[in-house]
Amino acid sequence: MPDQPLPLAGVRVIDITHFLAGPYLTRCLAALGAEVIKVERPPAGEEARSHPYHVNGQSGYFLQQNMGKKGVCLNLKDPRGLEVLHRLARIADVLVENYRPGVLDRLGLGYAELSAVNPGLIYCSVSAYGRTGPYAGRPGYGLLAEAQSGVMDLVGVPGEPPPVLRLPIADGFAGIHGVAAVCAALVGRHATGRGRHIDIALYDCMVALHEFAIQHYTLSGGTDILTRSGYDLPQSTAYGVFTARDGYVAIAAHMDEAWKRMARLMGGEALAADPRFHDTVGRNAHREEILRWIGEWVMAQPSLKECVAALDAAGVPCAPVQRIDQVVADPQVRARGMLFEQEHPVLGRVTLPNVPFTFSDADVTPRRPAPLLGQHNREILCTILGYSAAQVAEMERDGVLHAEDAVGRLPGNRTAPEASPTMGSR
C-alpha cells in the first residue's frame, strides 16, 4: 500500500527549544509530518550542539533530537532578527518553547502577545516546574525533577545513595506528554478556531508517573512509605533481576500462573501445587525464600542464554539485561525499525534511533537529517516569509543571520536533499 499523508502534514511548528524535553517533543511532531522550523541563536546555536558524542564537529546528541527539522539561526538582539521570529510565529500553527517562565514574555514572544495576532496559535511551554506555584521561577533539569519527585528514591539499594538514572525519564516523559497535548489542541481547534497555551512541567510529569507509591502512601493513611528495595519489588514477588553465570536476567513471575510455571520449572509439581504461594499475599510473605530459590536456580544454569531459553520454554516472562551493543544488534529492534540509517551532509551515513510510532499506512521514519546551523536561512526567509534576496544578503553581512561554514559547501548552497531510509522502514 502506498504511503498516505502523515498525520500532521500541513501543520507548521516553530521550535525555540534546547537540549531535550522540547527538542524531543518537536522531533516527534516532525516525524508525524509537521513542518518544524528550529530557531537557534548565533554563533554556537543550540546548547545541545556542544554535547557529545562529536564527529567532525557534529553532535550525535543534536542529530538525534533534531532530525526532520529545518533550521534558521537568528540574532534576536537585533530588531531585524526578532522581527523574523515574530513573522514566523504569526504564520505558525504551533510554537514550542522551553525557556524559564517569563524570558520570552520580555521579548514580546509570550502567549498573550502572539495569540493576539495569531488567535489560532497553539503555544506549548515546557519547563522544570511549570508556570505557576512557588517553584515556577526556579531553573531545573531532568535530574532535579527525578530526584524531587521521589522517583529516584525508589531506585537502588537500601542504605546507599540512589543512582543517577542514565536515561532522561523526566525530559522524555515531558516531551511525549507535550506531543499528546499539542495533538489534542490541534483537534480542539477545529471546533473553536482558537489555539491555547499548554503548560508542561517536568516535575508534574514525574509525579504523574507514580503508578503505586503515592496511592500506597495515601491509602495506608500515610503509614507506609515505599523506598529503595534493591533488585526486586517486595510487593510483587517474584519480580526482579537475578544474577546468572555470565550476566543478568529479569524475571516477571509475580502473577499467579506465571509463578506456577516458575515453580514447576524449579521444583516440579510439588512446589507448583504448594498453596502457600498461590496468591500475591502468600508469595510476598515468603519473599526471601522464593528469591533464594530463583537465584540458586538461575546460577545453576550453564549460561544466561540457556537460562533465558529454559524460562521461555516454560512460559515464564523474562528478558536478558542487555548492553547497548547487544541492543543495537537485537533482531527485534531491527525488525521494528527502531534503528535506521540516514545521509548527513557532513558525516555521510549515520545510524540513529527511530521514533516509536507505527502506522498502518504511513512511514514516519524521518527523511531529513538534523539541520546544520543556519542551513535553511535563505529558504525560510525567502520562500516562507517573502524576504528579498537583497534583504537576506544584508542580514547575512550584518550578522543577523548566521550559518556554519559547512552550509556554504552544500551543493548549490541549498537545502541538502532528503535521504530515504535504507533500513528499518515501517
Active site residues: 171
Q: How far is CA 200 from CA 14, 161, 181, 197, in A?
A: 17, 29, 9, 10
Phi then psi for residue 54, to 5 deg, are: -105, 140
End-to-end CA distance of the chain: 12
DSSP state letter for 103: T
The residues, ordered by sequence, that sit 6+ positions from 394 with a Cβ below 8 Å of its Cβ are none
In the structure grid, which three cell numbers stand for residue 143, read together? 535530574
Query: In this structure, are residues 89 and 50 in contact, taking their beta carbons and an 8 Å threshold?
Result: no
Beta bridge partners of 16: 97
Q: How far is CA 238 from CA 111, 215, 263, 276, in A?
A: 50, 21, 11, 14
- Cα separation, 422 vs 418, whole angstroms: 12
Query: In this structure, are residues 407 and 379 in contact, taking their beta carbons and an 8 Å threshold?
Result: no
CA-derived radius of gyration, the chain: 26
Q: Taking Cα atoms as reference points, which of 292, 320, 290 lies closest to residue 305?
A: 320
Assign residue 367 a region (left: φ > 0; alpha: ψ between -120 and 50; beta: otherwise): alpha
Q: How far is CA 181 from CA 50, 97, 123, 200, 327, in A?
A: 30, 14, 10, 9, 31
Q: Taking Cα atoms as reference points, which of 21, 17, 16, 15 lies closest to residue 203?
A: 21
Q: Taking Cα atoms as reference points, which of 287, 132, 151 lies closest to residue 209?
A: 151
DSSP state letter for 330: -
Phi then psi for residue 42, to 5 deg, are: -75, 160
- Cα separation, 285 vs 276, whole angstroms: 9
- Cα separation, 130 vs 114, whole angstroms: 20
Q: Taking Cα atoms as reference points, which of 60, 2, 51 lies closest to residue 369?
A: 60
